[in-house]
Structure 1
């Protein structure tokens, strides 16, 4: 279904040029939504933007910078508030990593916190007064199935995703009765880039159970977001996994999830 939107009405997508973010950009454009793409420098966002404008007759603006640069983020947000009407915010940008805590650098850990948590909160808080003025607006935050259990060797990543889920649900309740609808999506395994694909292939049948394409995850996410769904868990296997995780004792699910990661790790 194509959504009729005024020319000045935009959707802001972070991490918009690759993986899940690229698919969000494509499917939002296919719905007739104008897009503000936030992406890392050198991520080919400009080429994607030009392609989307030609194919779907929408307007796409590109902001290439590092979300961990607080000053640049604030400057771009102020520019957006002054020049665009934003009715949908998709906080998709996120990074992870697998390593023992004792072998992780503080810089790497801080980068996860900066991208997954701080920039997401700053973007949301800065745009919120603007979104509240719209007739109807939406916030979709991308969490993960990893949010539902702690995981050894990934310690900071699932904790950051749990923050996103908690933040989203708290904000949704806070904004009840306003123009803003808040949703959080918790995808499972997807082949979003070459390194992730290689890891999933290495896992064999175990890795492919419940595997979903980015296109299907985004289709479900957008559909449920615009329907006002609070928590979105794409795919039947992920729903089953979520229910199992709810009833398993914490110690047991921690050991199960951590054992999987431990097997995938290569100790140097």
Structure 2
């Protein structure tokens, strides 16, 4: 059933803390109703009460572990059937920062389930409605580690590499429509994911850590500017342009059908 809110409803995953919590606050301030998704019910209830009281918006909590298939299916069905949804922010994520040989299979699978599977299925849940209405915004939170791998980030970087390429593909699918699909690639941000991953923020270069507020505000500014890929902490736009140009040139250069000369035997 359609509501009277002209802005519609924004869905934010991983909303109980970090970037998700700030996204929820910023969107509530703009006047969006909200559906907040996270595992920690008490934090969602507290946040919903704050946002409702402060901004007068309607906030619905969807308590769910997006790494659990039944919970993920329940959330996907809920948002798929809600024609009021105009924004989905796929922010939920988890990490274990350690060599893969020292990381349990369960932890590796959890990263794949949350960072890849849930993001893909929730995107699939809203995009048909966006396409039918020819409007909607999808924001997928990737990472600079989607294009770079550390000795402790092989699995995490792999999951974020999927987010990067999947989001680029979706952008191609909706090209020429009024649907916006944005990829956001933060670097080090002051969120709980570092503690969860086993690397405390105190162990990192403090000058390289961005606040969650700055990261979200940069992401939303990039969205307003029409950016397909937003790198909140990269000051030199030429680096981004050169990377994009090299990526396209490398793909174009692969379309020959013949082995490169360096592989031919004399």
TM (norm. structure 2) is 0.82
Q: Paired residue for 1:254?
A: none
Q: Deviations over 1:150-179 (max 9, x none)?
A: 221211001111110111111101111123
Q: Paired residue for 1:255?
A: none
Structure 1 residues 130 and 74, CA gap change in structure 2 (3 angstroms): same
Q: Where do residues 245-264 of structure 1 align in structure 2 (5 Å cutoff)?
A: none
C-alpha deviation, 1:241, in angstroms: 7.5
Q: Paired residue for 2:231?
A: 233
Contact 1:7/1:34 (<8 A) preserved: no
C-alpha deviation, 1:144, in angstroms: 0.8
Structure 1 or 2, whichever has the larger Rg, is: 2
TM (norm. structure 1) is 0.81
170-179 or 73-82: bigger deviation: 73-82
Q: Paired residue for 2:250?
A: none
Structure 1 residues 113 and 82, CA gap change in structure 2 (3 angstroms): same
Q: Paired residue for 1:23?
A: 22
Partners in 2 of 1:127 and 1:48 — Cα distance?
24
Q: Deviations over 1:222-246 (max 9, x none)?
A: 1222443100011345868868988
SS across alignment from 1:235 = coil
231-240 or 99-108: bigger deviation: 231-240
C-alpha deviation, 1:74, in angstroms: 1.7
Q: Where do residues 1-268 of structure 1 align in structure 2 (5 Å cutoff)?
A: 6=5, 9-42=8-41, 44-193=43-192, 195=195, 199-203=200-204, 207-237=205-235
SS across alignment from 1:163 = helix
Structure 1 residues 98 and 186, CA gap change in structure 2 (3 angstroms): same
Contact 2:88/2:137 (<8 A) preserved: yes
Partners in 1 of 2:58 and 2:174 — Cα distance?
29
Gaps of 5+ in 2: 246-266
C-alpha deviation, 1:143, in angstroms: 0.5
Structure 1 residues 236 and 122, CA gap change in structure 2 (3 angstroms): closer
Q: Deviations over 1:44-87 (max 9, x none)?
A: 11110111011011111000111012222222322333345111
Q: Please provide the CA RMSD for this pair.
A: 2.7
C-alpha deviation, 1:186, in angstroms: 0.6
Q: Paired residue for 2:261?
A: none
- Paired residues, number: 241
Gaps of 5+ in 1: 248-268
Contact 2:83/2:129 (<8 A) preserved: no
Structure 1 residues 236 and 227, CA gap change in structure 2 (3 angstroms): closer
Partners in 2 of 1:175 and 1:243 — Cα distance?
22
C-alpha deviation, 1:43, in angstroms: 5.2
Q: Paired residue for 2:260?
A: none
